[in-house]
Amino acid sequence: DLLPDQSPELFQKWIFRFLYDIIATSTKYPLVSGIYRFATFVMNICLKLDYFKSNRSEAITRDGIEMMEIDINENEQVTAVCSLVRRFAHEVLSRQKQYRDDLLVSCLQFIISLPSECIDYDFANYVPAIQIALSIGLTYLPLAEQTINSLERWSQSTSLNLPNFYNQILPYLDDFLRLSYDQGDDVNVRAVVSSLQEKTRLNSKSKRVLPTRMLKKTKQIKH
């Protein structure tokens, strides 16, 4: 837990190797939720470092990943990591359909931790997982908060073009607007609900934020 907050730059040169090992381990032990948490840990460090913004190159093919040596040239590392993330993310999207409880949540947390640079070309494939995360988030608010934070982050990407998917996502956000601030006895629960409501009520002056007017219209949209 100290590394992302204290010295994330120390981990930068190990990102490819660590992620490669995580993916290899997940192939052997796909039902271990901790593996997906490790992958989320790596993504959080990448986000903190703006790792994928430093050198956006053409993605290499999946066949290229299979043939790649572990000791990869540093100049190619960002492209290689992005390709690894994309491949693993698609595997997780397929696996999570069969999972439940903590294992499902771990997979969803990895999906919503992904940087826009790795999912912008096929974001439509990730929408069902986002919908599931928001649905589960109604009873597990930390996941809802993480998902909405990711939506806000993804909305900053011009290549991802999140507004194209508002009609599929906003009905699930509308459920949070119906929550009462006083729901639950836990102070932390009330704080998260309040935070979610505030975020979903952001003004719509910028195209980069989730528009309140669209949120209001979602009451007329069926799930």
Q: Determine the Cα–Cα distance for residues 83 and 73; give it in Å rounded to an integer.
A: 15
In this structure, what are the phi and psi dihedrals at residue 214, rounded to the nearest 5 degrees?
-70, -35
Q: Note whether 121 and 163 are within 8 A (CB).
A: no
As a whole number, the mean pLDDT across the chain is 77
Q: Once rounded to an integer, what is the mean pLDDT over residues 187-191?
A: 55
pLDDT per residue over 80-112, tens digit each? Answer: 999 999 999 999 999 999 999 999 999 999 999
Give the model's confidence band at 210: pLDDT under 50 very low, under 70 low, under 90 confident, else very high.
low
Locate tokens 């073009």: which residue?
A: 161
SS (H, E, C) the chain: CHHHHHCHHHHHHHHHHHHHHHHHHHHHCCCCHHHHHHHHHHHHHHHHHCHHHCCCCCCCCHHHHHHCCCCCCHHHHHHHHHHHHHHHHHHHHHHHHHCCHHHHHHHHHHHHCCCHHHHHHHHHHHHHHHHHHHHHHCCCHHHHHHHHHHHHHHCCCCCCCHHHHHHHHHHHHHHHHCCCCCCCCCHHHHHHHHHHHHHHCCCCCCCCCCCHHHHHHHHHCCC
**Does residue 200 or residue 56 have the better pLDDT?**
200
pLDDT per residue over 31-54, tens digit each? Answer: 999 999 999 999 999 999 888 885
Give the model's confidence band at 221: pLDDT under 50 very low, under 70 low, under 90 confident, else very high.
very low
Q: Determine the Cα–Cα distance for residues 54 and 79; give it in Å rounded to an integer.
A: 10
**CB environment 27-60: b (16+ within 10 A), e (fewer):** eeebeebebbbbbbbbbbbbbebebbeeeeeebb
